[in-house]
Structure 1
């Protein structure tokens, strides 16, 4: 069996486990709500609130989060439009759809990317909350498979893009963000 076929088999089996095998009424509601923590409104709103209402370090963390989100979502859109992977609920009739209709592509998961982007920023700045924030981000990624809108490899790629973007911003661009805040007289 070739590598591509093994990945497809892995994707299909793990997707089925998350989307069907563990399906129950509690998770149906829980996953539907937890997935919103990776959505654009929540992630952008959370970082904007830190930037607007925070003082000094919190304001910088808000700006760092916004920069990380922006960079990560640029990567997501380039990959989605380049690879054009159909979503699982469009490919398999057996996938539980949860009345979700999305018209964009599947790879990588934007919600997972955003949640890991923010979780990584928070973990880098506040190491004592690293485990809880990364677990919440992992729940967002899991919810995307549970809801049948992403394959496991979409979620894994979202984790990688989110973490990578945050590391770039935190270790390579933070000095520029600090200078921007001084220039804007926000520091």
Structure 2
């Protein structure tokens, strides 16, 4: 199964050379930036998106919105971890070498990659997190998905993955995060709801200002308005 891409006539290999060729033409400082971004920067960016999404869902909508949004947000990193576990037997079955081992002339920005290439762990993890965030909050989710796509591009640019490696990673992360979301949320939502009712954990689910606003609304019998699909409701 290692011969998924074997020569330059293969579109996968041709696209690899085209994208990695941008690294050859770029100044050294830009390649160093891309190396950091592709290895760590985008993942750090996704962490910041998750934190921003958490800050948003605990401040807006009804209490039920906050509980369901936070449950979906917790599922995002769990989905990423599960997707990486699913990828272990896939890599072992396909046994595809890194592209620089079979193809000459690539500008490899990161050394020391000795494991198999298909599918990309970085692309898998990034997209699983992004889809989980999208389930929690569409606007933040779109930002996260854009970051995941940028991660996929960076891995090919860096010369450590074929294009089909990252496409497979994006597909795997999406599949795990979406297909397993219903049972995961069914388990996580009651846990988050219990945390919301506790004295110590309530602030993790609901901001003080939002809780006070809800208390005032309940006192005067005014239902708190739910947010539209562009904000913090669960993506359908």
User: Which range, TM-score by smaller chain?
Assistant: 0.7 to 0.9
For the 8 Å contact 2:5–2:13, the answer to whether it is kept is no
For the 8 Å contact 1:47–1:63, the answer to whether it is kept is no
Give TM-score scaled by structure 2 length.
0.65
Q: Which segments of structure 1 move beyond 3 Å, counting only runs of 4 or more?
A: 3-8, 42-50, 52-59, 179-182
Q: For 1:69-120, what per-residue CA distance to the aligned partner results, in whole angstroms no more than 9, with x for missing partners?
A: 1221111111111111100111112111124211211000000011101111
- 2:211 equivalent in structure 1: none
How far residue 150 of structure 1 moved from its aligned partner, in angstroms, is: 0.6
For the 8 Å contact 1:47–1:62, the answer to whether it is kept is no
Segment drifting more, 152-161 vs 54-63: 54-63
- 2:93 equivalent in structure 1: 82
- 1:161 equivalent in structure 2: 172
> Do residues 9 (structure 1) and 10 (structure 2) align?
yes
1:136 to 147, 151, 167: 147
Structure 2 CA distance, aligned partners of 1:8 and 1:79?
Answer: 25
> Do residues 107 (structure 1) and 118 (structure 2) align?
yes
Segment drifting more, 59-68 vs 135-144: 59-68
Structure 1 CA distance, aligned partners of 2:49 and 2:138?
Answer: 18
> Do residues 60 (structure 1) and 60 (structure 2) align?
no
Specify the SS of the correspondent of 1:186: helix
How far residue 136 of structure 1 moved from its aligned partner, in angstroms, is: 1.0
Give TM-score scaled by structure 1 length.
0.80
Distance 1:5 1:90, change over 3 A: closer
> Do residues 34 (structure 1) and 37 (structure 2) align?
yes
Distance 1:19 1:44, change over 3 A: closer
* RMSD across aligned positions (CA): 3.2
For the 8 Å contact 1:67–1:169, the answer to whether it is kept is no
Q: Which ranges of structure 1 fall in alignment gaps of 5 or more residues?
A: none
Q: Work out the number of aligned pairs and report it.
A: 181
Q: Which ranges of structure 2 fall in alignment gaps of 5 or more residues?
A: 59-65, 197-236
Q: Rg larger in 1 or in 2? A: 2
Structure with more of its chain in helix, by fraction: 1
